[in-house]
Amino acid sequence: MDHFAEFLRTPREIGTIIASSKSLVAAMVDWIEWDRVEVAVEYGPGKGAITREILQRLRRRTTFFTIELNASFAASFRTALPDVRLHEESVENITGICAEHGVTKIDCVISGLPWATFSDEQQDRYLDEMLKKMPPGAQFVSFAYLVGLPLTSGRRFKRRLDDVFTSVETSEIVWKNFPPAVVYRCRK
């Protein structure tokens, strides 16, 4: 099934119908201090556009896994990247998923989730569960589409980031993406 068909089925989960561009992915993953990352998790990898670039940068000793809720994307992902561990469930189960890997903390989360399409309750639940596993200094990176920034939910998400992280940097606009986006680079 292609992205457009999936968007028609579950638009709130997916958030857009086109995979992130190389420019947007670079604006996310090049910011991460990979040498300091022992455990990295990707939220909402879809078909793996960001994952491929993460794999180029991962250190050999780093534990890495991904969490994708959508069954159709999960199937495509497994076909394209069979060696990468994917959990087909919601990110809200991050504590149990970490336990499966025998890890107690996450140093870095790379998020492709469409935060501005989530309800307040979803935003809080996903963020709160994630933050429980992140020690001070951990990094979180996520994109936000320009069209979503003025929405109440988009503004709320940014406020929540400002509240819970020690530092939050917003990148320049990445025009070479459809839709154009900014990247939030956060440190706990």
Ligand X SMILES: C[S@@+](CC[C@H](N)C(=O)[O-])C[C@H]1O[C@@H](n2cnc3c(N)ncnc32)[C@H](O)[C@@H]1O
Q: What binding mask, one character per residue, do residues 5-44 give for ligand X by CB under 6 A, x or -?
A: --------xxxx--xx----------------------xx
As measured in angstroms, the least distance from the Cβ of 166 to ligand X is 25
Q: Which of residues 149-168 bind ligand X (CB under 6 A)?
A: none
Separation CA 136–CA 133 (nearest Å): 10
Separation CA 136–CA 120 (nearest Å): 25
Q: What binding mask, one character per residue, do residues 49-68 give for ligand X by CB under 6 A, x or -?
A: xx----------------xx
56 Cβ neighbours under 8 A, 6+ residues apart: none
Quickly count: other Cβ atoms within 10 Å of residue 142's Cβ: 22
By CB under 6 A, residue 81 contacts ligand X: no
**Max CA distance (Å), the chain:** 41
By CB under 6 A, residue 69 contacts ligand X: yes
Separation CA 123–CA 162 (nearest Å): 14
Q: Which residues bind ligand X (CB under 6 A)?
A: 13-16, 19-20, 43-46, 49-50, 67-70, 73, 90-91, 112-114
